[in-house]
Amino acid sequence: MGEKLNTKQYIGCIGIIASSFFLSLKKPDIKILKLRPTFWYMLLSSFLFAFSIILYKFGVQEIPFWNTLPYEGLGMALGALSILLYKNNGKIFLHETKKFPKKIFAWMSINEGVFVLSRYTTYFALSLVAASIVNVLSGFQPLFVLIYGIILSLWFPHVIKEVITKQTVGIKVASIVGIFIGVSLIFL
C-alpha cells in the first residue's frame, strides 16, 4: 500500500499503548507495573479488529453493503461450528447448558443481538466513510465500558463489582482521554 507513518502518528501509537497500559493496571499505584493478562488480549483484539475492518472495507468497495452481511453471518456460524466440533467441545457444551437457568439464555441472546447489531452498524458506517474515521469514533468504547461498569457496580453489584474509588476512576478517565488523543493523532 506504500503508506508511511509520520511523527504525529508514532506519538499517537505510543500514547495509545501507554494509556492502555495504565487502563489495565491492577492497582492505581505506579510502582506496581504488572500488567494484567487482559492488556495483551486487548492488544490482540485491537489488532485483529483493525485487520477485519480493513478487509471489510476492501470488500464493501466491490459489492453493496447489504450483500456483505451474509458473509459476516456465515463467518460467525463457521467459527462457532469449528469450536463445537473441536475435540469434545460439543458434548461439553450440551452437558453444561443443561445446568444453566433459562434467564442465562435470555441474557446471552440479548448480548448476541446487541453484538451483531453493533457489528452491522460498524460495517454500515464503513460503507459510508473512511475506515480511519470509524476507528476514531470507535475510540469511545472504553468510555462507555467505564460508564457501564460504574452503573452496574453501583446499582447491580451482584452482576459486576468494579473498583470505583476516585483515584481508580480518575486513572481510567485519564487513560481513556489518552487513548482518544492517541487515536486522533493517528487518524486525523
What DSSP string describes 39-83? Answer: HHHHHHHHHHHHHHHHHHHHHHHHS-HHHHHHHHHHHHHHHHHHH
* pLDDT attached to residue 1: 39
Is residue 175, in this structure, part of any structural domain at all? yes
- Tens-place pLDDT, residues 53-104: 888 888 888 888 888 888 888 888 898 899 889 888 888 888 888 888 888 8
Is residue 135 a contact partner of residue 53, using CB atoms and an 8 Å limit? Answer: yes
The separation between CA 42 and the C-alpha centre of its own chain, rounded to angstroms, equals 7
Q: How many domains does the chain have?
A: 1
Is residue 110, in this structure, part of any structural domain at all? yes
* pLDDT attached to residue 168: 77
* Domain that residue 110 falls in: 7-187
Give the global pTM: 0.65
Q: Is 186 exposed, middle or buried (0-12, 13-18, 19+ CB in 10 A)?
A: buried
DSSP state of 27: S
Instruction: Say what percent of the chain tops pLDDT 70.
Output: 88
Res. 29 pLDDT band, cuts 50 70 90: low
Is residue 2, in this structure, part of any structural domain at all? no
Is residue 188 a contact partner of residue 136, using CB atoms and an 8 Å limit? Answer: yes
* pLDDT attached to residue 2: 45
Is residue 167, in this structure, part of any structural domain at all? yes
Is residue 156, in this structure, part of any structural domain at all? yes
- Tens-place pLDDT, residues 114-164: 988 988 898 888 888 777 777 766 777 777 877 888 888 888 887 777 777
Is residue 68, in this structure, part of any structural domain at all? yes
How far apart (Å, rounded) are the C-alpha atoms in residues 22 and 159?
A: 25
Is residue 1, in this structure, part of any structural domain at all? no
Is residue 114, in this structure, part of any structural domain at all? yes
How far apart (Å, rounded) are the C-alpha atoms in residues 152 and 108?
A: 17
